[in-house]
Amino acid sequence: MRKILISACFLAAAASPALAADGPTSLGVFSDWTAAEYAVGKSHVCYAFTRAVGSEKTATAAMIIVSERPNSRDEVVVNATGPYPAKTEVAVQIDAQPAMSFYTSGKGAFARDGRGAVIDMQKGNGATANWDAKDGKKGEKFSLAGFTAAYGAIVKACPAK
């Protein structure tokens, strides 16, 4: 549940200049990725995100978000434009590497091995997320251009404890 609420905050903050003025602080834009930090109580959450290739810059766009907290590292989520079907697995593939299976809850698909996903993303150029829906196969494509720099910025801003 915590991951779902955090993802919702990231989406709202990423898409709303009004929220961004009072909420997240930009850590920079790195090609197709944006990095920011957000205060949560006495601690900070740092995150990097990119929208699906060809999508509009809105809170409802499909996104990949990677977040770092002092005590929780490498949370990777693929947010869809609408809820995933119940008990759906999302296959996330980085370039030609073997696909990773993400579990779903609502509009989020979460990496079981966030560290492994980050390592693969640092080596890749693009990612695809595919899943089965009631009306057939669905999928999104994402650029990884700038991911390594954005990831470096969030790790630096929110170091592990």
Over residues 42-56, the mean pLDDT reads 94
Domains of the chain: 2-157 (2.60.40.1880)
Q: Rounded to two decimals, what is the model's pTM?
A: 0.86
Is residue 27 a contact partner of residue 154, using CB atoms and an 8 Å limit?
yes
Where do the H-state alpha helices sit in 73-146? 114-123
**pLDDT above 90 coverage of the chain, percent:** 76
- Residue 22 pLDDT: 62
Mean pLDDT across the chain:
88
Q: Indicate if the pLDDT at residue 79 is higher than 80.
A: yes
